[in-house]
A and B are shown apart, each in its own frame.
Chain A
């Protein structure tokens, strides 16, 4: 398959981006400033992220569309208000997570933001449940820009009046340069911010404006350190088809009503796990020293029994210490439990930690 590029590819190049292949796209991993500076400037000012590789999947239909989607998504879509968003997943028959996503109710149906690496399969999986008269479109004419950081609201409000009134996990249509924009107050960094869906033809102009307001470009490298500090999962690492939402410590994302009534893929299994608890569970991990416990690092109990593995690990620039997430046997998941991390054949001490590592500042 040919490597794909987002509409901003040349723009990134001119900004000094270093590219890496990611989910079939050439994406910036970092720019000239490097990951730590990009991370800090997002936390202290604002940064923009080109996340146009993610799928923007639009669905239209009547009431039966809700029934169809609820078979694979455990959110309460019936009671989701127009312009409100929820974090949820696509589930397989075993309750495993096919992808994690943000779903927003629109005037005519729904918009789902899908992970780039999963989007084609996701659409296949969703389509199984759709009726002939449901319309769907993966819109590749749109870019998606995340603007994240404490100054985001002030900067975007000047350009697009009204965005400041959006509450976290809600969105609306706005006008920009004679075009329609859909803006949601959301993101994946633990900061206040927005995700802006904008036509590929207008996106450069938006970025020009952001840069003139000292918003730095942020690559995948800092996106990873930011989301990990915020305790957020990365699909393909912390989540996969063999992990269910209970194990992933994401049962909060299953709507209460849906937990009781069910009617979605894997419900029997999930209901059982909700009652009994799972054997393993996702936790935050803080190594005691400076050692970084990266993905696949084995986790041992203090008496040397293997109890789990790391799924994401890096140095957290705002925490100023290494941070990680992983799965451990549930009896070792209590915050403060001492563990050992095997790095390059040597065992280092660590502790089960609260998530997030870095406290969020969302506008509710």
Chain B
């Protein structure tokens, strides 16, 4: 599995061959608060880079989760749909949102590194 890359919309992506795993960052979960609902996409759905792909809701509000990369969904993580609170516990590990078969690796390459993302969060406090 490749190193994690990060988007400005607070998603992370890791790459294994041409299959990317996408989730939301720890920073995102801290901004959202207690997560109480998650909707993940079904396999076969086509998503565009920065297109809406999933939904996450905290006690406060609903937010869209975007795919930082275009491709075709191969799997949505049903575990987090059944237990939304698990996203708060392990957002960058077991609580990934979806996997997709990517079309263009350069979209992955253009995302931020961990250091760049940390810097981005510091400069753009919510």
Partner-B contacts on A (CB < 8 A): 29-30, 34-37, 221, 225, 290-292, 294, 314-315, 317, 322, 344
CB pair A315 B37 closer than 8 Å: yes
**Cα A35 to Cα B61 with chains together (Å):** 12
B121 at the interface (CB under 8 A from A): no
Q: How large is the interface on B (under 10, 10 to 19, 20 to 34, 35 or more residues)?
A: 10 to 19
CB pair B33 A35 closer than 8 Å: yes
Contacts of A290 in B (CB 8 A): 36-37, 81, 84
Among B41-87, those with CB < 8 Å from A are 55, 57-62, 81, 84
A-B contact pairs, 11 of them (CB 8 A): A225-B59, A290-B36, A291-B37, A292-B36, A292-B57, A315-B34, A315-B37, A315-B57, A315-B59, A322-B37, A344-B55
CB pair B34 A294 closer than 8 Å: no
CB pair B33 A221 closer than 8 Å: yes
CB pair B62 A36 closer than 8 Å: no
Beta-carbon nearest neighbor of B31 in chain A:
A18
CB pair B60 A35 closer than 8 Å: yes
Among B66-118, those with CB < 8 Å from A are 81, 84
Where chain A touches its partner, the secondary structure class is mixed
**Taking the nearest CB of chain B, how far is it from the CB of A22, in angstroms?**
13
CB pair A34 B37 closer than 8 Å: no
Partner of A35, one of B55, B57, B59, B84: B59
From B55, B58, B81, B84, residue with most partner A Cβ within 10 Å: B58
Contacts of A35 in B (CB 8 A): 33-34, 58-60
**Cα A107 to Cα B83 with chains together (Å):** 54
**Cα A322 to Cα B57 with chains together (Å):** 11
Partner of A221, one of B55, B59, B84: B59
Do A315 and B36 form a contact, CB below 8 Å, given A29-B60, A35-B60, A344-B55? yes
Contacts of B55 in A (CB 8 A): 344
**Cα A132 to Cα B31 with chains together (Å):** 52
Do A34 and B62 form a contact, CB below 8 Å, given A290-B84, A292-B57? no
Beta-carbon nearest neighbor of B32 in chain A:
A34
Contacts of B39 in A (CB 8 A): 291, 344
Given contacts A36-B34, A294-B61, 14 further A-B contacts (CB under 8 A): A29-B60, A34-B34, A35-B33, A35-B58, A36-B59, A221-B60, A290-B36, A290-B37, A294-B62, A314-B59, A315-B59, A322-B36, A322-B37, A344-B39
Beta-carbon nearest neighbor of B64 in chain A:
A344
Contacts of A37 in B (CB 8 A): 34
CB pair A30 B37 closer than 8 Å: no
**Cα A291 to Cα B84 with chains together (Å):** 11
From A30, A290, A294, A344, residue with most partner B Cβ within 10 Å: A290
From B37, B39, B84, residue with most partner A Cβ within 10 Å: B37
From B37, B60, B61, residue with most partner A Cβ within 10 Å: B60
**Taking the nearest CB of chain A, how far is it from the CB of B1, in angstroms?**
30
Contacts of B81 in A (CB 8 A): 290
CB pair B34 A292 closer than 8 Å: no
Beta-carbon nearest neighbor of A35 in chain B:
B59
**Taking the nearest CB of chain B, how far is it from the CB of A90, in angstroms?**
30
**Taking the nearest CB of chain A, how far is it from the CB of B34, in angstroms?**
4
Beta-carbon nearest neighbor of B33 in chain A:
A34
**Cα A290 to Cα B55 with chains together (Å):** 13
Contacts of A30 in B (CB 8 A): 33
